[in-house]
Structure 1
Amino acid sequence: MEMNGTHIVSAESMLAVWNEWEIRMLVLTSLALQVFLLFFAGIRKRNVSAVLSLLLWLAYLLADSIAIYALGYLSQTRVPKGVDPESFKRTHRIQAFWAPFLLLHLGGQDTITAFSTEDNELWKRHLLSLLTQVALAMYVFTKSHPGAGILAPAVFMFLSGIVKYGERTWALKCASMDNLRSGMVTTPDPGPNYAKFMEEYRFTREAGLQAEIVIEQERRAEAAAVTVGVAEESVPYTTVITDASRFFVIFKRLFVNLILSFLERTRSQATFLRLTPEQAYKIIEIELSLMYDTLHSKAAVIHTWYGRLFRCLTLLSTSTACLLFNVHHKGKHQSYNSIDVCITNILFGGALCLEVYAIGMMLISYWTYAALQSCNFRFLSNMIFRSIQYFRPESRAKWSNLMAQHNLISFCLLDKPIMLTKVLSVLGLKARWDSWMYIRHIDVSHELKILVFRELKDKTVSIVDAESYRKFSNHRGQWALQCKGYYKELGWSVEVEFDESILLWHIATDLCFHSDDDNDAAKIAQYVEISRAISNYMLFLLVARPFMLTAGIGQIRFGDTCAEAKNFFERAEMARPDAGAAARMVLDVNAEIAPRDVKGDRSKSALFDACRLAKSLLELQPHKRWRVIRVVWVEMLCYAANKCRSNFHAKQLSGGGELLTVVWFLMAHLGVGEQYRIEAGHARAKLIVEKN
C-alpha cells in the first residue's frame, strides 16, 4: 500500500509540475516554431528535399494550432486545488500578458504565409480567425485585471500583434488567384469608335460623294528581324535584376492565364535575343523567385509604402513595449514569478530579433533594389546592390536547378513483388514508395540549358509571322524530324498521343544507349547525356507529375508497359539486374509486324513499338542518330512546358521549382506560346472623300 501511495504522490506532483509549466512550454514552443519558419521557409524554393518539406509543413500547421490552443488555455482562470489564490492571480496576470505575443506569432513570418497556393484561397477563413483570436486575446488579457505596469506595454504589443496578423491575412488575399487576376487585368479598351466612323461613311455616300476607306495597321517591328546577326552580349548583374523586375510586372500575367500582345513579345525578344544563355536564364530565375515571394510570402504587402510603414510601426511598438515592461518592473520582479518574467523577456527578445532579421531580409531583396532604382535613389540602390551581391550572388541558382530522373527499364528490373510492396499497394502508398526508391535528381547541366536556349532562339529568329509562332508551340517532334529529314521514317512515333510518344522515345533512347559501343566518343557523349537526361525527366513527369502534361492515359500506358517488360524479363531468368543485357534482349525480338496487329489494343503497352522505333534509329550513323534523338526530346520538352496549365507551374515553385516551368517562361520571353493573342494593334482607318 505504501508503494501505491508513493506512486500516487509522485504522479500528482508530476501533474502539478506539468500544469505549472504547460503554458510556459506552449509559448516557448510557439516562438521556436516562428524562428524555424523564418530561417528555413524560404529555402524550399531552392530545395527539393522531401524531409525539409515535411518539417516545414508540420511547423506551418503546428504554429497556428499551438498559438490558438495557448490562447484558449490562458482563458482559464479557475484556481487549481491547493494553490494560493493571490499567488495564482499574480501568475495569471503576467501570463495573460503573453496573449498579444501569441497574436504576433499567429501573424507568421515574412518568409511564409501560405504553404501551398491553395492556402491563399482560404484568406476569408484567416480573416475570421483574425477577428476571433484578437477578441479572445483581449478577453484573456482584460479578464486578468492587469495593473498599470502591464497595461501600457500590453497596448503596444496588441498593436504589433494585430498589425502582423492583419499583414498575413492581407498577403493571403493579395496572393489568391482571383485577386491576382483582377489586379492584372488591363484597363477595358473599346477600341476606335466603329459606329461613329461607319455613320460618317454612310452619310458621305448618301450625299453622293465618292468615299474610300484606307486602313493603316498600328506600326509594329518584329524583334527577330532586327536582331538577326547581332552578337550576344554580357550585361552587368544590376541590369539583370532591373530587367527581371521590369519583365516580372508583365509576365506574371502568365500565372493567371491572361494574354500578352505583340508589343510585349517585341520588347522581350529585343532583350533576350541579345543576352547570353546564362543571363537569360538568370532573369527567368529571378522572375520565378519573385513569383514565389508573391504567392507564398508577405512580399506583396511589405514591399509597398504602407507595408514598410507597418514594419517600422511594429518594430517601434515592440521595442517600446519591451522598454516599458522592464522599466516599470525593474524593482517589482519579486511580485511576479522570476521564471515568468524571464520567459516574457525571452518573448520580447525573440520578437525583436525576428523583426530586425525580417527587416534586413526585406532591405536586401530584389524588390527593394528595383524600387530604389525606379525612384533614382542611386546611393541607396548601390548599397542594397552590394548587399545583394554578397548574400545573393549572381552565380547562385535561385531555384533547385535539379531535374528528376526515372528510368523504365531500371524500374522494371528492380521492382520486385515482395511482401512490403504488396502491403504498400493495399494501403495506396506504393506510388510514394516507388518515388522514394526509384526517382533521383541530377543537376540541370549547363549544356542542356544552352541547347534549349539555342534551339528556341533559332526557331524564333526563323519565324516571320504570328501563325508560325503558334504552329511551333504545337510541335512535339514533327518539326525536328522534318528539319533532319527523317519524318517519313519516324514521323509515326510523334503523331500518336503525347504520353505514348514519351514512352516510345524514352524506351528507344535507352535501347539505343545500351546497344551503342561508342557512346563515350567525345563528339556524341554530350548528345547522349542530354538526351538521356531529358528522356528520364519526361518519364518522371509522366509518372509522378501527370497533371503537368496534356490529358491522356499516361499512367495506364506506363503500367501496362511495365507489366509487359517485367513478364519479358522474368522469362529470361536473369541472374542479376542488368539494364544493358535487358535492352539487348528487347532488341533481339523480331518486331516486323506491329504489336497491335498481333495482340490487339486492350493492353496499352508501348514496349515493342519502342523496339521498332529503336531499330529504325539504329540504322542511322551514331552522330546523326543522337542529334535526331536530342532535338526531338528538346521539342517534346518545350511542347510539354507550353501545354502545362499555369496553376500547376505555380504550384511547383514551392517545391524547388521545375525545369518545365523555366522552359515555359523562356518560351514566353522569346515570343513562343499560346498566350500571345493580340497580334495587331488598333487599325487607323481614314475616310478619303473625293469631290466630283
Structure 2
Amino acid sequence: MDLPIPDDVQRLWEAWNFRVCIILSLLLQALLVLASPCRKRTRSKLLLVFIWLAYLIADWIAAFAIGLVSKSQDGACESKGREDLMAFWASFLLLHLGGPDTITSFSLEDNEFWLRHLIGLTLQVLATAYIFYQSLSDQSKLWVPTTMVFVVGTIKYAERTRALYLASLSQFGGSVLPKPEPGPDYEEAMEIYSSMRSVQVKAEASHVEVMPITPEVWNPVGSMSPLDLDDMQLLEEAYRLFGIFKGLIAGLLLSSKDRELSRDFFLTRTATDAFRLVERELNFINEVLHTKVNVVRCQTGYILRFVSFILILGALMAVSIEEAKQTVFRNKFDGRLTYALLIGALGLEAISVFMLIFSDRTLVALKRSSSRRKKFILLGINLKRRRWSRSVSQYDMISYCLNDPPKWMYNLVGCVGAGVILEKITILRFSHSLTVSEQLKEFIFDQLRMKSLTANNLRAAMDACSQRGAWALLHTSRDIYFKLKWSIVEYQYAESLLLWHLATDLCYLKETETESSAEVYDRRKICKLLSDYMFYLLVMKPDLMTPVLGNWQIVLQDTCEEAKRFFCKKPPISNKFEACEKILGVETKFRPAAVKGNKSKSVLFDACMLAQELLKLEINKWKLMSQVWVELMSYAAINCRPNVHAQQPSRGGELLTFIWLLMNHLGLGTQFYEQERQAGTKMVPQK
C-alpha cells in the first residue's frame, strides 16, 4: 500500500533529493576535517557525539546518494538531459566516501571492519562506474572531468580501506614484529666457533687477556642529565619511544633490554618532561590507529597526493573550459553547486596537505641543524599545541546517592530497558572536570619513580605492579600498616576502591580548608581529585578496570542502597556535609560483616570505620592517603588491556593511560620478558 504523498511533495523530492544529499555530504566532510582533530584535546561529550554522528552519517549519505543517481537514470524525467552532470556529481560522492585524512575510524572496532570497507569500495566503484558508463554519449560534455574526479575518488576510498587494514590489531601487531632473524648459518658458525675455541685455549695457556665485547648502549636524543629537554628533542625522543613501545598495544612482549634502557632514561627525567614525552607518544599512537598517516606518509602517498590535487585542479579547469564554449548547466544553481564541489575538494585537499606539513612526523623528519630549524621557524606553533585534554572527570559516591533520580522514573524507563542510560545521564549532569596540574603530575611521577628505583629486576617490578595500597602503608609505618591493612588485603579491588573512596570523601568533608597547612591542603586536594576520578571511571568507564573489578556492580549497588536508606531516615539528608556528619556519628564497635552477615556486599560502614581510624592518625594522613591512591590507580592502569588504553587518546585522553605508559617506561609493566644476555669475547690471537 503506497503512502498518500502529495504530488507536489513527490516532485519536490525528485528534484532536490540528490542535490540536498550531495550538499550535506560536502558539509559533513568539511566538519570532519576541522572537528576531528579536536577530539583528542577535549572531554566534551557533546563534541564527541557530534563527531560520531557526522562520521556515521557521512558514509550513509554518500552511499544513499549514489543509489539515488543510479535509480534516477532508469527513466526519471528529472534526470533526462543531465546524465553527464549526475555522473560528475556521483564521482564526488565516491571521493567523499574516502573520507578526510584526519579520521578514518572513530573507535578501534571500526578498524576491524576493513574487509567490509573493501567490499564497499568494490561495490561503490562499480556503481559509480556504471553511472558514468550510462552517461556516455555523443552529447556528453563532462566525461573528461568526471574521469579525473572518479580516479581521485577511487584513490581516496582505497587509501581509507588500506588505513583501516593497517590499523586493525592483527595487522598492527604483525607490523611491529622485528624482522625475522634466523642467525648465522649453523655449519659455518660451527667451524668458526671451533677455531675460536682452539684460539681461546692457546690464549689461556699463554695468559693473554681476553677482551669482552662491549654491550650495545642506547644513545637517546636528549642528554641523560635531569635538565629539561627542548620541544624538538622531546618530539624526537617521543617518536623513538613510540617505535619501541608501540608493540604494547598489540599485546606483544618487550625485551628486558628495552625495559632497562627506557627505565634508565626516564629515571633521569623531570615530571614535566616525562608527561610531555608520553603526551607526544600517545599522539603518535592515535594517528596510527585513527588517521591515514601510515598510508599518506610514504613515497607512494606523496605521489598520490600530488596526483589527486592535479586531477581535481584539472577537472575544475576542464569544467570552466566547457562552460565557456557551450551551455553545460541547466540552471545557475547546478553550476554553483558544481563549482562548490570542485572548490570544496581543492580546499579539503589543501587542508590535508597543510596538516601533513605541520604534523609531528614532519617535524621529526627535519634535520636537527640550527639552520634547518630557523628555516622552519613557523613549525614551532605545532610544538606548543595540546595533544590531550589535560583534565580528569570528577564524581563522588555521596553525590551519586543524593542526586539519584526517584524510583518512579527508574520504573518508567525500566519498561524500555533504559535504566542504565538514565543513570549515566544523571552522572554526566552532576559530574565536572578538573585540570591536571603540574603539582599533580610531579607527585604521581615521584611516586612511580620511587617504585621504579626499588624494582631492579623483573621479579621486583612484577611485585611492585601487584601492590594496591599495602606498599604505601608499609613504607609509612609498620604500626600503621598493621592497623589499616585490613582495608586492602581483606577486600577485592572494587571493594577496596569504594571503601577508600568513601573514606576519603568523609575525611575531606570533615576537615575544612582553614584547618590545614599548605602541604596538607595540597595533599588533601590531590586525594580528593584522584578519589573522585577513580569513582567516575568505575561507574562511567568500567572497561578501563574490567580485569581487576570482579563483582563490582554488586558491591556498588549494595553500598548505594544502604547509603540511600541511611540518608532517608528522619530527618532526611539534603547535602553532603550532613551526610558526612551522620555517617561519622554512627558508633562502629564491630565490623559490619560480624553484625549483618555476609549477605550484603555493602562497604558503607567499613568505610566509616576506615575514616574514623584515619582521622585519629597523628601523622599527615593526607600524605599517606595520596600514596595509597596512586597505588590504586597504578594497579588499575597496568592491569587494563592495552587496546583499551590505545582507544583513550582519541577521546580526550585519560590520566590512567598516561600512568600505564609511564609505568612501562619506568620498567614497571607486565609485558616484559627475560632475554638471555649474549656474552661474547674478543679473541686476541697469539703472536
CA distance in 2, matches of 1:420, 1:383: 63
Q: How far is the alpha carbon of 1:219 from its aligned partner? A: 4.9
How many percent of aligned residue pairs carry the same amino acid? 34
Partner of 1:588: 585
Task: Give the aligned residue type for 1:521.
Answer: S
Q: Does 2:398 align with 1:409?
A: yes
Alignment of 1:461-540 (within 5 A): 461-485=453-477, 486-495=480-489, 496-517=491-512, 518-540=514-536
Q: Which residue of 2 aligns with 1:424?
A: 413
* Displacement of 1:337: 3.3
Query: Contact 1:47/1:399 (CA < 8 Å) preserved in 2?
Result: yes
Q: Does 1:260 align with 2:251?
A: no
1:454/1:221 Cα in 2 relative to 1: closer, same or farther (>3 Å)?
A: farther
Residues 403 and 442 in structure 1, CA contact (< 8 A), matched pair in contact too: yes
Q: Does 1:43 align with 2:35?
A: no
8 Å CA contact 2:94, 2:125 repeated in 1: yes
The whole-number CA distance in structure 1 between the counterparts of 2:472 and 2:18 is 66
Contact 2:501–2:532 under 8 Å retained in 1? yes
Q: Which residue of 2 aligns with 1:599?
A: 596
Deviation at 1:596, TM superposition (A): 0.6
In 1, distance between residues paired with 2:510 and 2:8? Answer: 74
What is the Cα deviation at residue 194 of structure 1?
10
Letter in 2 for 1:620: L
Shift of 1:534: 0.5
| 1:309 aligns to 2:303 (yes or no) | yes
1:308-361 alpha-carbon deviations (Å, 9 max, x no partner) = 111111111111111112112213126643322221111100000000011000
Instruction: From the superposition, tell whether residues 277 and 514 of structure 1 become closer, same or farther in structure 2 (CA, over 3 Å).
Output: same
In 1: Cα distance, 2:177 partner to 2:549 partner:
28
**TM superposition shift of 1:380:** 5.7
Question: What is the Cα deviation at residue 437 of structure 1?
Answer: 2.5
Aligned partner of 1:118 in structure 2 is 109
Letter in 1 for 2:169: M
CA distance in 2, matches of 1:19, 1:524: 71
Choose which of 380, 389, 404 in structure 2 pairs with 1:400.
389
Give yes or no for contact 1:113–1:171 (8 Å, CA) kept in 2: yes
Confirm whether residue 609 of structure 1 aligns to residue 606 of structure 2.
yes
Structure 1 gap segments, 5+ residues each: 1-7, 205-210, 688-692
> Secondary structure at 2:673's aligned position in 1?
strand
**Residue in 1 aligned with 2:200?**
none
The answer to whether the 8 A contact 1:303-1:368 is kept is: no
| Aligned residues of 1:171 and 1:297 also touching (Cα < 8 A) | yes
Q: Secondary structure at the match of 1:442?
A: strand
SS of the residue 1:430 aligns to: helix
Is 2:18 the partner of 1:23?
yes
Q: What secondary structure, in the 3-state scheme, does the structure 2 residue paired with 1:187 have? A: coil
Could you tell me how far 1:624 is from its partner in structure 2?
1.6
Check conservation: 1:93, 1:144, Cα contact below 8 A.
Answer: yes
- Find the aligned partners of 1:192 and 1:327 in 2 and give their Cα distance: 65
**Cα offsets for 1:501-537 (capped at 9, x unmatched):** 1011111111212222455432311000000111111
> CA contact under 8 A between 1:94 and 1:336: conserved in structure 2?
no
> Structure 2-normalised TM-score?
0.89
Question: Displacement of 1:191 after TM fit?
Answer: 7.3
Matched, 1:361 2:355: yes
List per-residue Cα deviations over 1:90-142 (Å, max 9, x = no partner).
22221221121111000000111111110100001101111110010010011
Distance 1:534 1:410 in 2: 16
Q: 2:87 aligns with which of 75, 81, 96?
A: 96
Match runs of 1:138-537 below 5 Å: 138-146=129-137, 147=139, 149-188=141-180, 219=215, 232-333=226-327, 336-373=330-367, 382-384=374-376, 386-390=377-381, 392-394=382-384, 396-426=385-415, 427-428=417-418, 429-485=421-477, 486-495=480-489, 496-517=491-512, 518-537=514-533
Matches of 1:547 and 1:191, distance apart in 2: 42
2:554 to 553, 556, 559: 556
Aligned-residue offset at 1:377: 8.2
Partners of 1:581 and 1:13 lie apart in 2 by 65
Q: In 2, Cα distance between the equivalents of 1:275 and 1:287?
A: 16
Q: Deviations over 1:659-691 (max 9, x none)?
A: 10011111111121111213542354999xxxx
Q: Describe the SS at the equivalent of 1:573.
A: coil
Q: Which amino acid aligns with 1:67?
A: A
Deviations 1:225-273 (CA, angstroms, capped at 9, x unpaired): xx9xx86201211101111111111111111111112322233234322
TM-score (norm 1): 0.88
Taking the aligned partners of 1:400 and 1:120, their CA distance within structure 2 comes to 24
Q: Secondary structure at the match of 2:588?
A: coil
Structure 2's unaligned 5+ residue stretches are 198-203, 205-209
Matched, 1:136 2:130: no
Q: CA distance change for structure 1 residues 378 and 445 in 2, over 3 Å: closer, same or farther? A: closer
Distance (whole Å) between structure 2 residues aligned to residue 653 and residue 424 of structure 1 = 33
Partner of 2:626: 630
**Contact persistence 2:454–2:460 (CA under 8 A):** no
Superposed displacement of residue 388, structure 1: 3.3
Q: Is the contact between residue 218 and residue 681 of structure 1 (CA under 8 Å) also seen in structure 2?
A: no
Residues 404, 537 of structure 1: 8 Å contact kept: yes
CA distance in 2, matches of 1:476, 1:69: 53
Q: Secondary structure at the match of 1:329?
A: helix
Whether the 8 Å contact between 2:455 and 2:668 is mirrored in structure 1 is no
Judge which range, 107-116 or 187-196, deviates more. 187-196
The 2-side partners of 1:141 and 1:383 are apart by: 47
Q: Does the CA contact (< 8 Å) of 2:84 and 2:143 recur in 1?
A: no
- C-alpha distance in structure 2 between counterparts of 1:493 and 1:387, whole Å: 55
1:599-656 deviation per Cα after TM superposition (whole angstroms, max 9, x unaligned): 11121001111111112111213x5211110111011111111111111112222211
Q: Which residue of 1 aligns with 2:207?
A: none
Q: How far 1:498 sits from its partner (Å)? A: 0.8
Task: State the alpha-carbon separation in 2 of the partners of residues 570 and 193 from structure 1.
Answer: 79
Are the equivalent residues in 2 in contact too, given 1:513–1:519 (CA < 8 A)? no
* Structure 1 residue identity aligned to 2:317: L
Give distance in 2, aligned partners of 1:413 and 1:423.
Answer: 20
Amino acid paired to 1:141: F
1:16-39 per-residue CA deviation (whole Å, 9 max, x = no partner) reads 233212211111111111001111
Q: Which amino acid aligns with 2:400?
A: F
Change in CA separation of 1:456 and 1:192 when aligned onto 2, cut-off 3 Å: farther
- Rounded Cα–Cα distance in structure 1 between residues aligned with 2:602 and 2:282: 38
Do residues 66 (structure 1) and 61 (structure 2) align? Answer: yes
Task: Say whether the 8 Å CA contact 2:520–2:620 is kept in structure 1.
Answer: no
